[in-house]
Structure 1
Amino acid sequence: MTEVSGLRTFTLTVMGSTDLHGNLFNWDYYRDREFDDYAHDDVGLAKISTLVHGVRDAVGRHRTLLLDAGDTIQGTPLAYYYARVEPITRTLVHPMAAAMNAIGYTAAALGNHEFNYGLEVLRTFERQLDFPLLAANAVDVATGLPAFQPYVIKTVWRTGGPPLRVGILGLTNPGIAVWDRAVVEGLLTFPGLVEQALHWVPEVRSKSDLVIVVAHSGADLSSSLGDQVPFPENCAELLAETVPGIDAVLVGHAHVEIPQRFVLNKVTGRPVLLTEPLYWGKRLSVMEFDLEFDGRWSVVSSQSSVLLSSSVAEDPRIARLLRHDHAKVINYVNARIGTCLGAMSADRSRFEDTPALGFINHVQALEVAKSTSLPVLSLCAPFNRGAAIPAGEVSIRDVAGLYPFDNTLVGVRLTGGQLRDFLEESARYFQQVSSGGPFSAAEVSADVPDYNFDIAYGLSAPLTYDIDIAAPVGSRIVGLAYDGVPVDDSVEFAVAVNNYRQGGGGDFPHIASAPVLHNQQQEIRQLLIDWVKAAGVLDPAAFVRSDWRLVAAGSPVIVSTNE
């Protein structure tokens, strides 16, 4: 500790993870091997643990805090297993909780995916943590008060001078009210992040020398919620520039990497530090705050960077602690449930009708057909480009790879005109082109996530249409027909969709307000697994269709997926 002109100085290092999504080890349960992607990133808390201990060893543990910005208990077969197959209890601790406790997290914010398995699982997970789970804007309808702890004040004593008080405010995503309506409706509301921060930050600031917001909301102002809620989905930068008194924001939800970004607060003119460490434990954000004490601690400067999980080995302590939990999941996903008569891949499902997506749509449609006499259609997105079911024996992981999300099935009523509008919105997925190519996948794909490109399927008769990507957005669906007859705007269909889409995810027209015909909280992935178990044999030939085509002014578009 040094003194400069009578001022004491201290540097605090705050580390942050986000969007871990059930990734404990560097393991791909769907491929039954170590995780690898095109960037050769590694994932998982065991890797994060090694990075954290490296930082602590370098600067001194007493000079560090460790935070997480949410989406922890959903996203992998491990997460599913300990929510549905062998649910966590008072005595069965969630492996993610056990790992985070062992690593020594200071606090975490709630993510929207924390609600996917219901409030009972979430509350059990919360009780298992040795640190607070924060969400100032998850409000109890009955009391009007936060349903979770809004903030925590952490006192750092070993500064070489007066103690340093760090206020950590947690904010979650208002989209929960839409995406998990079935879980939270009538129980919780989710006001906007900026609005709640304006209320809570002054209180936290009055008790703190340094204020960090942990926000499960992307940095750049955008939203997939449309006008369903009056608050934006992603607004961390707006939060930083609008609410005075914030020193830094650990950003989550958007799955992008922000090593360091400064935003000037419009009230104080002071810079606010933002950082987001990618997702799945691929990165660890490291924020450094240089502070001086002159009557009270204040931030003189700050900076941040990210560390790569691929640069270190897994922490053997985490491996020893949780290897049995990991082994249970491996055994579960490798259980044989049937056979497949030929290989089925989702690789080209973005650009042509494939049996892989046809299988998903068929199972969804079959289930909804039990609840209606209307002609049944189904909508499904190509969630996992790498998904493939091999010829021969089929395991749970093979089928689950086609549908990695924990969505449930909903059936709604749409008219032909509404269906056409929906498909036009889906067709935004593609760039406008002037010919049929050939193109690379990147040349025809717009900046739209794969999960927002829905493909339609008719159960009892084909639903056929072309997507003309030589035409502008909004005028691309050509020749829409059901059983060979042009679809009239007034004809009615029962349409199978997932709860994310029906809840308004992606802001597609009509779907969120459509009358609900079927909603039994059935997980789509489990419906696929159960179908294969019951049938015993999966025959790709049964799902070979050519119901939709990608064209440019009537000519087929040729796309290479060798990326």
Structure 2
Amino acid sequence: MSLLSRRQFLLTSTAAGGLVMVHPFTAAAAAGQAHLRLLCTTDIHCHIRPYDYYADKPVDTVGLSRTASLIEGVRSEAANTMTFDNGDYMQGNPMADYIAYSKGMKEGDTHPVIAAMNVLGYDCGTLGNHEFNYGMEFLGKVNAKAGYPLVCANFAHKLGASPREDDLYLPPYIILDRELTDGAGNKLPIKVGVIGFVPPQIMQWDRSHLEGNYNTRDIVQAGAAWVPQMREEGADIVVALAHTGIDASAQSEGMENAALYVAGIEGIDVVITGHQHLNFPGKDFEGPGIDNDKGTLQGKPAVQAGFWGNHMGLIDLMLEQDGGKWKIATHTSEIRPIFKRGEDRSVTALTEDYGPVLHSSDQVHEATLKYVRAKVGETTAPLYSYFALVADDPSVQVVSNAQLWYVKQLLEGTPEGKLPLLSAAAPFKAGGRGGPDYYTDVPKGPVAIKNVADLYLYPNTLQAVKVTGAQVKDWLERASGMFNQVAAGAKDAMLLNPEFPSYNFDVIDGVTYKIDITQPSKFGKDGDVVNPDANRIVDLQFEGKPIDPEAEFVIATNNYRASGGGQFPGADGSTVIYRAPDTNRDVIVRYIHDKGTISPQADANWSFAPAGGATVLFETGPRAQSYLEDVKSRGLNIEPADGGEGGFARYRITL
């Protein structure tokens, strides 16, 4: 197959003397040849509009209404198009939670994301792993109003002896009869086969909804079984809607990210991939069989169009007839963004909203705003981070509580579920370059969805790692690099290391310990060992006894940390035992919703070791004064001190 540049276009004159962009395939097509453009979205996660409900403000980086403008633009310039969605469409933001948890779905209701997709007129879609988060009854009500078919070849009520004997929840595939306009203007029929896949890991991720009544099969195994039948039924080309990512590691049974090997299935022509929230073609993937320049997986055209509507996927096919059947002669792949980011991190929108999609959710948008501004639960204690770097902290505590609650449920019944479970969390809003107002401050009482953004700034996903007791200690040694070394008995020494980011100051709940800042830090700022004999972490205990260096523990954390972010011992990607499909922020929302009332008082599981009466100084926000008595009640010998620059307040701690 010959390949053209993904962005190569020809300019041709119109009758009116203007210029119109014509794709090379359209310009070159003759009788018996047709240019077919496949458009796709993936991982919309109910981001219909360009709005951040957590921050409660408009944004230009998300929104199906923006992607829709790209879709409509491509359709207007092409004679032959088809549009597909690759799953994870209905869960993932407060609008989705509002529908599921507050408004509900009655028989006959149309979910707002389905309403938006119906406006766009998709040709086919598949399921993503997050479709199961709200349970099967809810999923059935949502999908019942889809104006397009849904397919999935590896999710079943019950598995049979072979894939083609499985009692599938949805049809494994569909053969779409369409009509193409060829280069000579003739209308010619084509049969487009579409098959769908979902990660088998849904049986773990949503076990509470699925166990005992449903099952999954390996993606590649299912595809290899059904594609020949699609060909037998006359499919000219076969498109895989693979809600699975791209992974160049060796193929394995039950692989979560199997798109590269889906492309290797004989009879599949095109792979639309997703799930990872990454971009292909681009710079996110490399390895054998992955060609970012040509946009191919194992030589076949493929796309992964980001997430939340930030890109549209586009595959151009030059088709030609061969013995009455269509085949692909040439192809290109690309993804088109809805915004660009400048070197100064500024955002510029590249497209406007497509009105019909935007307006399809007007009413539910207004209802969602009321929802995010209203409480989802109560807190019996204020959630603040003014002292998060010097004492056990309620804003970090609630994150750990939520992580422990979530992972405990998901590991129940597994071998790892029998291991001691710990949680690592760090303060994100803790002053620094963010300024004296850059702190979490949620008062006692109602907690709103948007308050969760104060507790957890980043869209990390939750992960769990298995480590030893020795690695737990070194994890904490690494985190203690937050503090300067202070001599015993020193007077008014500066406590915090300004080069150490607060998001690397992990507190581990489930153990108790003290930090001896008279010792040097074992690790340098980049995580390298600089003082191998240093022991800042003292009196480290689990269940009231010294921790066993050989014992095994599970730590709930986030994908950034688990994959090596911050260079923490025991967290380099190789120790991950569980990758959750949910963001840590969504976990906190679910936790608060489940509990109704939370009591996130810090449990003082860590403190500073005595330092001969040394006094140390640190700066925090001026509103810290409101919580001074609360933090003193937890044993911290602290008082206001003179000084403080740039609007910060200074405090003195005696050790």
TM surpasses 0.5 = yes
Kept in 2: contact 1:88–1:124 (CA 8 A) = yes
Query: Which among 41, 44, 58 is matched to residue 20 of structure 1?
Result: 44
Whole-Å separation in 1 of the counterparts to 2:470 and 2:221: 34
Whole-Å separation in 1 of the counterparts to 2:598 and 2:29: 78
Letter in 2 for 1:50: S
Mark the CA change 1:345 to 1:218 in structure 2 (over 3 Å): closer, same or farther: farther
Query: Which among 25, 33, 39 is matched to residue 57 of structure 2?
Result: 33
State whether structure 2 residue 330 is matched by structure 1 residue 306.
no
- State the shift of 1:65 in Å: 0.8
- State the shift of 1:156 in Å: 1.8
Letter in 2 for 1:32: D
Kept in 2: contact 1:333–1:395 (CA 8 A) = no
| Alignment match, 1:256 | 278
1:289-345 CA deviation, whole Å, 9 max, x = no partner?
001113211110011212222311112212222111111111011015669997746
Kept in 2: contact 1:422–1:510 (CA 8 A) = no
Which runs of no fewer than 5 residues in structure 1 stay unpaired?
36-40, 446-452, 501-505, 513-521, 550-563
Kept in 1: contact 2:131–2:139 (CA 8 A) = yes
| Alignment match, 1:379 | 423
Alignment of structure 1 residues 64-103 onto 2, 5 Å: 64-103=81-120
| Alignment match, 1:220 | 247
| Alignment match, 2:77 | 58
Alignment of structure 1 residues 239-278 onto 2, 5 Å: 239-240=262-263, 242-259=264-281, 271-278=299-306
Whole-Å separation in 1 of the counterparts to 2:141 and 2:170: 13
SS in 2 for 1:157: strand
Letter in 2 for 1:360: V
Which runs of no fewer than 5 residues in structure 2 stay unpaired?
1-24, 161-165, 292-296, 340-349, 409-417, 431-437, 486-496, 516-520, 560-572, 580-585, 610-655
1:214-270 CA deviation, whole Å, 9 max, x = no partner?
1011112359xxx9x932111211221x31122110111111111379759xxxx98
Mark the CA change 1:441 to 1:134 in structure 2 (over 3 Å): closer, same or farther: farther
| Alignment match, 1:400 | 452
Kept in 2: contact 1:222–1:232 (CA 8 A) = no
| Alignment match, 2:565 | none
Letter in 2 for 1:279: F
Kept in 2: contact 1:247–1:271 (CA 8 A) = no
Alignment of structure 1 residues 428-439 onto 2, 5 Å: none
SS in 2 for 1:154: strand
| Alignment match, 1:448 | none
Whole-Å separation in 2 of the counterparts to 1:548 and 1:19: 45
Judge which range, 309-318 or 7-16, deviates more. Answer: 309-318
Whole-Å separation in 2 of the counterparts to 1:529 and 1:467: 40
Whole-Å separation in 2 of the counterparts to 1:403 and 1:243: 41
Kept in 2: contact 1:221–1:232 (CA 8 A) = no
Letter in 2 for 1:181: R
Alignment of structure 1 residues 129-528 onto 2, 5 Å: 129-141=146-158, 144-159=166-181, 160-206=186-232, 207-221=234-248, 230-240=253-263, 242-259=264-281, 271-295=299-323, 296-310=325-339, 311-336=350-375, 344=384, 355-362=394-401, 378-379=422-423, 389-390=440-441, 395-401=447-453, 402=455, 420=469, 423=472, 456-458=508-510, 462-463=512-513, 469-471=527-529, 480-482=540-542, 485-488=545-548, 524-528=588-592
Kept in 2: contact 1:16–1:285 (CA 8 A) = yes
Whole-Å separation in 1 of the counterparts to 2:534 and 2:246: 32
| Alignment match, 1:121 | 138
| Alignment match, 1:45 | 64
RMSD: 5.1
Whole-Å separation in 2 of the counterparts to 1:352 and 1:231: 44
The TM-score normalised by the length of structure 2 is: 0.62
Q: State which structure, 1 or 2, has the greater radius of gyration over its C-alpha atoms.
A: 2
Whole-Å separation in 2 of the counterparts to 1:146 and 1:383: 45
- State the shift of 1:360 in Å: 2.6
Whole-Å separation in 1 of the counterparts to 2:359 and 2:467: 54
Percent of residue pairs identical: 27
1:498-521 CA deviation, whole Å, 9 max, x = no partner?
999xxxxx8857889xxxxxxxxx
Mark the CA change 1:523 to 1:358 in structure 2 (over 3 Å): closer, same or farther: closer
Whole-Å separation in 1 of the counterparts to 2:308 and 2:427: 17
Whole-Å separation in 2 of the counterparts to 1:456 and 1:419: 14
- State the shift of 1:182 in Å: 1.9
Whole-Å separation in 2 of the counterparts to 1:238 and 1:476: 48
Kept in 1: contact 2:260–2:298 (CA 8 A) = no
Whole-Å separation in 2 of the counterparts to 1:97 and 1:119: 16
Whole-Å separation in 1 of the counterparts to 2:333 and 2:114: 26
Whole-Å separation in 2 of the counterparts to 1:301 and 1:47: 29
SS in 1 for 2:329: strand
Whole-Å separation in 2 of the counterparts to 1:358 and 1:2: 59
1:3-44 CA deviation, whole Å, 9 max, x = no partner?
999951101111011111121111111110013xxxxx5211
Letter in 2 for 1:147: Y
The TM-score normalised by the length of structure 1 is: 0.71
Kept in 2: contact 1:405–1:525 (CA 8 A) = no
Kept in 2: contact 1:76–1:404 (CA 8 A) = no
Letter in 2 for 1:191: R
Kept in 2: contact 1:142–1:187 (CA 8 A) = no
Letter in 1 for 2:355: P
Kept in 1: contact 2:513–2:605 (CA 8 A) = no
